[in-house]
């Protein structure tokens, strides 16, 4: 008696609309490229237009469907207006974030508010706006926040940053519970130190680089490409039963 063999769910994102916030550089660019390669139509959202149109041109030269949008996601009213005027986004990747590192005793109110405004408040309401449009139209979706391994551990000189990333994990879990009945999945991706233009100064310090590599069990820092497969996975049907959790891409940093 023959039996039907299972088939791997599709990673193909053709026909899906994706919004990538913080898409101008580094991890955000990688996420946008990965989604385009998988067949999605991608809207690139950045605060400044300086590099956005060049990025859009490069992506269109590859034959991908990429649209540019200049928007500061901390302007919640403007963000809502943009999302409400469009067809719903099936996929959200929020890669917009910031850090102002320093000793906890030296943290200023201004730095605390600036980091919290983007990493917590803007992210919370960006998820909300995308989810509302999906629910209004009866569509399912996958919402992702690029968080950090610091969302599950502490770090010297990183109290504010860690606080905001821990907070993002909290609202992710709660939103996943509330929106699960609408088939909207909400997750985070938590990378370790990733080699980008912004992190070069950190890796240029031999002592800091040695310390980082000693903490990462695989013995190397992450590259942007290490994040890209995870984004496609969480965006696709291959992760249809995954919500309310974090995908750690930390080379074993948090395994201790």
Please indicate whether residue 161 is annotated as part of the active site.
yes
Contact 66, 42 (CB under 8 A): yes
CA–CA separation, 85 and 87 (whole Å): 7
CA–CA separation, 130 and 80 (whole Å): 8
Counting beta carbons within 10 angstroms of the beta carbon of residue 104, is it exposed (0 to 12), middle (13 to 18) or buried (19 or more)?
exposed
Contacts of 33 (CB under 8 A, 6+ apart): 59, 228
Compute the radius of gyration of the chain from its Cα atoms: 18
Contacts of 158 (CB under 8 A, 6+ apart): 99, 101, 150
Active-site residue (options: 64, 89, 161, 253): 161
The single residue listed with the structure tokens 């009945």 is 181
Contact 250, 191 (CB under 8 A): yes
Q: Which residues are catalytic?
A: 161
């Amino acid at each position: 008696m023959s039996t039907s063999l299972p088939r791997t769910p599709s990673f193909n994102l053709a026909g899906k609309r994706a919004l990538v916030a913080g898409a101008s550089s580094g991890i955000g660019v990688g996420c946008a490229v990965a989604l385009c390669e998988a067949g999605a139509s991608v809207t690139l959202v950045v605060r400044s237009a300086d590099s956005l149109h060049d990025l859009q041109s490069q992506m269109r030269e590859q034959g991908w469907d990429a649209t540019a949008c200049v928007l500061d996601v901390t302007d919640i009213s403007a963000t809502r207006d943009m999302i409400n005027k469009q067809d719903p986004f099936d996929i959200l990747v929020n890669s917009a974030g910031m850090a102002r590192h320093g000793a906890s005793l030296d943290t200023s109110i201004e730095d605390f508010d600036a980091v919290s405004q983007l990493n917590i408040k803007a992210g919370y309401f960006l998820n909300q706006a995308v989810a509302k449009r999906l629910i209004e139209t009866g569509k399912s979706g996958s919402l992702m926040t690029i968080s950090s391994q610091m969302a599950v551990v502490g770090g010297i000189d990183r109290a504010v940053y860690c606080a905001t990333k821990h907070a993002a994990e909290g609202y992710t879990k709660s939103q996943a519970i509330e929106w699960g009945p609408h088939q909207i999945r909400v997750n985070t991706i938590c990378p370790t130190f990733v080699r980008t233009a912004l992190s070069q100064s950190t890796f240029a310090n031999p002592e800091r680089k040695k310390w980082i590599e000693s903490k990462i069990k695989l013995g190397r820092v992450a590259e942007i490409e290490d994040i890209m497969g995870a984004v496609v996975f969480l965006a696709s049907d291959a992760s249809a039963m995954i919500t309310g959790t974090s995908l750690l891409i930390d080379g074993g940093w948090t395994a201790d």
